[in-house]
Amino acid sequence: MDTFDEIKPKGFVDEEIDPRLDLFAEIDRLKKEKNAVILAHYYQDGDIQDIADYIGDSLGLSQQAAKTEADIIVFAGVHFMAETAKILSPTKKVLLPDLKAGCSLADSCPPHLFKKFKEQYPDHLVITYVNCTAELKAMSDIVCTSSNAVQIVESLPKEQKIIFGPDKNLGAYVAKKTGRDLVLWNGACMVHEIFSREKITKLKERYPKAKLLAHPECEDVILEMADYIGSTTGLLKYSSKNEATEFIVATESGILHQMQKENPGKTFIPAPPNNNCACNDCPHMKLNTLEKLYLCMKNESPEIFVPQDIIVKAVKPIERMLQISAQLGL
């Protein structure tokens, strides 16, 4: 029989919260009292984004985690992001509002299988997308994010053989952009694989002036149609700078909150998925709620721990990514 822990609904919080509490004020108070910083990804609920000290894409969040002077990093995102923060700032306490906030892409690459895969290509360098476990990072030479993957591959000599994992869609996009022959791990994100080319084509007929913005985790059939491809920060910047007033957005729906906030006069339409589900909501990202954020700051739990031997190995490829990004001004 399932335990209650396994069947409890998404927004369920274990501890009762006084309904009269102003959670925004309480979170703000705890932030000051505990010298905590809240880092939030663009896929978080709007209210979490609004209370965060910093909102960003995976690269921006890693850069913030590496340089913060706070004692506690509260990571409003998913497990691999909080793990990356812990690896970069191991002496700090890193909290994640819901420990179950995982990632289908990270799950698609079990470290023991990747180890065997890597052994087949002993002369290859390993580049891993940050959306993977700490153990996988520990087996890598360089980590990358969607905003620097192309540049990181380009920074290596042309003859360098490369394994790229775990996202096959981002890998295929990088291979196409750089003209390199990359050995790809067959992983993908459940949210970005769901968009329907047919439905987007129909939507474009209804909104002929709309630009299609797509994240590189989408399949090639979607990327082929896109007017702009980029990380969440890239998509947000493009939507603000571009003169178009209508955008179809092929990525997780949370980014629409900032797009709409920065551009109140523009229209943002979430790209339709293959079926009628709310599939462009990432079920992992959306496990975090304002209530859980408050409780995790109050109780300083759940906390993220990464074994010391993994930290020692995983920090090198992450720092390499940060160095290359700094050199490139990213």
CA distance 239 to 68: 29
Binder of residue 145, out of ligand 13P, ligand SF4, none (CB less than 5 to 8 A by kind): ligand 13P
Name the token pair of 151.
Answer: 């540049």
For position 253 contacting ligand 13P by CB under 6 A, the verdict is no
- Residue among 74 and 78 whose Cβ is closer to ligand SF4: 78
Q: Which of 103, 142, 213, 249 binds ligand SF4 (CB under 6 A)?
A: 103
Instruction: Give the amino acid at 254.
Output: G
Q: How crowded is residue 244: how many other Cβ atoms within 10 Å of its Cβ?
A: 14
Instruction: Give the amino acid at 236.
Output: L
Q: Which of 38, 52, 152, 282 binds ligand SF4 (CB under 6 A)?
A: 282
Residue 313's H or E segment, with its range, is helix 308-327
Tell me, residue by residue from 120 to 139, as one string, x for binding to ligand SF4 by CB under 6 A and - for no binding.
Answer: -----------x--------
Q: Which of 62, 68, 104, 131 binds ligand 13P (CB under 6 A)?
A: 131
For position 184 contacting ligand SF4 by CB under 6 A, the verdict is no
For position 189 contacting ligand SF4 by CB under 6 A, the verdict is yes
Which region, judged by CB under 6 A, interacts with ligand SF4, from 18-26, 60-68, 114-122, 278-286? 278-286
| 100: three-class secondary structure by DSSP | coil
Tell me, residue by residue from 217 to 246, as one string, x for binding to ligand 13P by CB under 6 A and - for no binding.
Answer: x-------------xx--------------
- Residue among 132 and 163 whose Cβ is closer to ligand 13P: 132
- Residue among 68 and 231 whose Cβ is closer to ligand 13P: 231
For position 104 contacting ligand 13P by CB under 6 A, the verdict is no
Binder of residue 231, out of ligand 13P, ligand SF4, none (CB less than 5 to 8 A by kind): ligand 13P
Cβ-based neighbours of 221, under 8 Å, separated by 6 or more: 197
For position 66 contacting ligand SF4 by CB under 6 A, the verdict is no
For position 78 contacting ligand SF4 by CB under 6 A, the verdict is yes
Which among 162, 177, 169 has a CA at the least distance from the CA of 104? Answer: 169
CA distance 154 to 170: 15
- Residue among 194 and 200 whose Cβ is closer to ligand SF4: 194
- Residue among 30 and 146 whose Cβ is closer to ligand 13P: 146
Instruction: Give the amino acid at 73.
Output: I
Binder of residue 104, out of ligand 13P, ligand SF4, none (CB less than 5 to 8 A by kind): ligand SF4
CA distance 109 to 95: 24
Render 130-195 in DSSP notation, one character per residue. Answer: SSS-HHHHHT-SEEE-TTTHHHHHHTS-TT--EEEESBHHHHHHHHHHHT--EEE--B--TTTT-B
Phi/psi at 127 (nearest 5 deg)? Answer: -110, 125
Q: Considering the complex, what minimum distance in angstroms separates the CB of residue 134 from ligand SF4?
A: 15
| Surface-to-core class of residue 84, CB atoms within 10 Å of its CB (0-12 exposed, 13-18 middle, 19+ buried) | buried
Q: Which of 190, 203, 244, 269 binds ligand SF4 (CB under 6 A)?
A: 190
For position 30 contacting ligand SF4 by CB under 6 A, the verdict is no
Q: How crowded is residue 209: how many other Cβ atoms within 10 Å of its Cβ?
A: 9
For position 258 contacting ligand 13P by CB under 6 A, the verdict is no
For position 145 contacting ligand 13P by CB under 6 A, the verdict is yes
| Surface-to-core class of residue 112, CB atoms within 10 Å of its CB (0-12 exposed, 13-18 middle, 19+ buried) | exposed
For position 58 contacting ligand 13P by CB under 6 A, the verdict is yes
Name the token pair of 22.
Answer: 């102003």
For position 284 contacting ligand SF4 by CB under 6 A, the verdict is yes
Residue 95 β-bridge partners = 74, 303
Enumerate binding residues for ligand SF4 (CB under 6 A).
43, 78, 103-105, 131, 189-191, 252, 282, 284-285
